[in-house]
A = this chain, B = another copy of it.
Amino acid sequence: MKLSAIAEFLNGELAGDSKKEIKNVGKIESCSPDEITFISNPSYEKYFHTTKAGAIIVSKNFKIPESVSGMPSRVPLIRVEDPYMSFLKILEKFSAKIKLQKAGIHKSAVIHKSSKISKQNTGIGAHCYIGERCVIKKNVRILPNTVIMNDVEIGSNVLIYANVTIYHGCKIGDNSIIHSGSIIGSDGFGQAKNPDGTFTKIPQNGIVVLEDNVEIGSNCTIDRATMGETRICKGVKLDNQIQIAHNVYIGENTVIAAQAGIAGSTKIGKNCMIGGKAGIVGHIEICDNVIITAAANVSKSITAPGWYSGYRAVEQKKDLKKEVYVRNLENIVKRIEKLENKKDNMN
């Protein structure tokens, strides 16, 4: 892509060789001469004179830093309103060139005749299996070796990577992405204890619903409800290896980092952020706009927005205060010793 075309695409002002060919995007500290990069955060300006970039996206009022050599820089610049958002756009542009799966159905895929697969630009990869009575809409891509069981509904513009499993009856909303190895709709963990110590399996009869614009990372597990549904609302983004138990509800635009786990029937509000490895027990409610830090364990409902942290999570302010006291215990004991010694001296 020529620099002139990139400048036009970004609605920016180009200073430099308009015919230069750019082949990819890169980080300012490590990119190569056929890559474009950006400066948004001033702390990266130090790389301005050393970068090998073929071009840099900067803000309209960007001032070129002085070089140690005093020599003027010759790197082409594209000046835009918001360099970070412009860079995301061009990153997207280059990413879109990677075609992950052709439209059409691969001849090795096994698809039950009762399922309806859109013919409008939907592609199903090699060795996929699609069960009975499924509905798959337009512009969907399903990569090789993914298994979709009976009665699954998949909306438009959905991207499902390889080796995914979607159990019977689950529903996937428009524009959603599911990464490899994730399991949608496996049985919730329901076992009724018998008097002899053995367990009887409680049938898991519900489904999982992913609403629109949801992204699920790789090797996640989202269990079907015992009855009713496990629901992941629109705009929710999950990182990798996340466990969502049966009958959980996750509100709109909540994001969850890797290896977090949410136990059964818990309801998470909208716009929450849950850190990596965090654990949330079952049957509680987390209100909207809550931030749970990495590795925190939440065992009670949270009813006020804000930050929560700790091995037994509380408001972060309280948690950090407690930690300060604990780290100060050696001094506390010294103070007691001093008092005891004075005592002794006095007696």
Q: Are A333 and B332 in contact (CB under 8 A)?
A: yes
Q: Quick one: closest B residue to A192, CB to CB?
A: B88
Residues of A within 8 A of B (CB): 24-27, 30-31, 84-85, 88, 91-92, 94-95, 98, 100, 106, 108, 110, 125-127, 129, 143-145, 147, 149-150, 161-163, 165, 167-168, 177, 179-183, 186-187, 189, 191-192, 197-205, 213, 215, 217-219, 221, 223, 226-228, 235, 237, 239-241, 243, 245, 252-253, 255, 257-259, 261, 263, 270-271, 276-277, 279, 281, 294-295, 297, 299, 311-312, 321-323, 325-327, 329-330, 332-333, 335-336, 339-340, 342-343
Q: Are B165 and A161 in contact (CB under 8 A)?
A: yes
Q: Are B165 and A181 in contact (CB under 8 A)?
A: yes
Using A26-B228, A276-B263 as known contacts, say yes or no to A110 and B100 having CB atoms under 8 A apart. no
Of the candidates B88, B94, B163, the one whose C-beta lies within 8 Å of that of A202 is: B88
Q: Quick one: closest B residue to A252, CB to CB?
A: B197
What would be 8 A-B contacts, judged by CB atoms less than 8 Å apart?
A30-B228, A110-B126, A163-B163, A177-B187, A218-B223, A219-B241, A295-B297, A322-B329
- Chain B residue contacts of A95, Cβ below 8 A: 203-205
- Chain B residue contacts of A25, Cβ below 8 A: 205, 227
Of the candidates B98, B125, B257, B339, the one whose C-beta lies within 8 Å of that of A343 is: B339
- Chain B residue contacts of A219, Cβ below 8 A: 181, 183, 219, 221, 241
Q: Are A181 and B179 in contact (CB under 8 A)?
A: no
Q: Are B277 and A129 in contact (CB under 8 A)?
A: no
- Chain B residue contacts of A295, Cβ below 8 A: 279, 297, 311
Q: How far does the Cβ of A311 sit from chain B's closest Cβ, in whole Å?
A: 5
Using A295-B311, A333-B325 as known contacts, say yes or no to A189 and B239 having CB atoms under 8 A apart. yes
Q: Quick one: closest B residue to A93, CB to CB?
A: B203
Q: How far does the Cβ of A279 sit from chain B's closest Cβ, in whole Å?
A: 5
Using A237-B199, A322-B329 as known contacts, say yes or no to A227 and B26 having CB atoms under 8 A apart. yes
Using A125-B129, A336-B336 as known contacts, say yes or no to A243 and B243 having CB atoms under 8 A apart. no
- Chain B residue contacts of A163, Cβ below 8 A: 145, 147, 163, 165, 183
Q: A91, A180, A191: which has the most chain B beta carbons within 10 Å? A: A180
Q: How far does the Cβ of A265 sit from chain B's closest Cβ, in whole Å?
A: 10
Q: Are A197 and B253 in contact (CB under 8 A)?
A: yes
Q: Are A257 and B189 in contact (CB under 8 A)?
A: yes
Using A149-B100, A218-B186 as known contacts, say yes or no to A24 and B205 having CB atoms under 8 A apart. yes
Q: Are B258 and A243 in contact (CB under 8 A)?
A: yes
